[in-house]
Amino acid sequence: MPRDLDLGARSWTQVESRLKGSGRRAVALLPIGSTEPHGPHLPLETDVVISLETSRRAAARLSSGGFEALILPPISYAVTDFSKEFPGAVGVSRETSVAMLAEVCRDALSHGFAAVCLVNSHLEPDHLAALREAAARVSAQTGRPVIFPDVTQRRWASMLTEEFRSGACHAGRYETSLVMAARPDLVDEAARRSLPANPISISRRIKEGARTFREAGGEMAYFGDPAAATAQEGDATYEALAAMVEPAVLEALP
């Protein structure tokens, strides 16, 4: 996707020009991911890749619908306690995450955005709780919406793939397809094709008390079937993800 809606690629004068007069139609999309293992075949920045591509597609939809949508530079660090046993997992505490998210959202709103929409692809429970807390805090402080279409909620999850709904979806077919569609250069194809399916539902294991990927049955930091992934499925899933952001923004800024 082109970068013409990426705020970080614009000068301050260009951003000022785009926000001037936009009023309640200016929306900042904040891509949120993590730096953590996604099997032996996907990059540590998998969640960032997915959130950024979703944001670009959602921003294009919103811009076509009359909004002034700009994409903030992504946040690449989150609570990653489940993957801490693996090299490359670099995380922050829940408290740090809440503070960082809240400050970024407040600052974006101070420059004239009517709302911030959190576009998130990292699904660790404490991370999701941090997003909800930060969104509620900033909305209460500023009187402007911080929108969070949480893909784990039934309303949005029903729009996604069967593997996602099964809960066996960390670096499996679901996420691998998404990375293949957006950044195929980051996928180790030889490793991907060699991996057997791991049908364990990590979401179910978490509810049962697992606290790490290995405790949940993910010895190689993946759940699902990466060998079955396709770029075509990833492209279709991005359209579904972008289609979640649009109504969430419209509900907040009718």
pLDDT band at 1 (very low <50, low <70, confident <90, very high): low
Give Cα 187 distance to the centre of its chain. 18
CA atoms within 13 A on the CB side of 40: 11
pTM of the entire predicted model = 0.96
In this structure, what are the phi and psi dihedrals at residue 203, rounded to the nearest 5 degrees? -65, -40
Domains, the chain, in order of start with CATH, read 7-252 (3.40.50.10310)
User: Token pair 């999701």 is at which residue?
Assistant: 128
Closest CA to 141 of 113, 103, 93, 95: 103
Is the per-residue pLDDT at 90 higher than 60? yes
The span from the CA of 20 to the CA of 84, in Å, is 44
DSSP of 6-18, one letter per residue?
Answer: BGGGS-HHHHHHH
CB 168, CB 224: distance < 8 Å: yes
For 132-172, write each residue's pLDDT tens digit: 999 999 999 999 999 999 999 999 999 999 999 999 999 99
For 121-141, write each residue's pLDDT tens digit: 999 999 999 999 999 999 999
Cβ neighbours, 10 Å, residue 26: 22
CB 28, CB 22: distance < 8 Å: no
The span from the CA of 195 to the CA of 39, in Å, is 9
Average pLDDT over residues 82-93: 96
CB 47, CB 202: distance < 8 Å: no
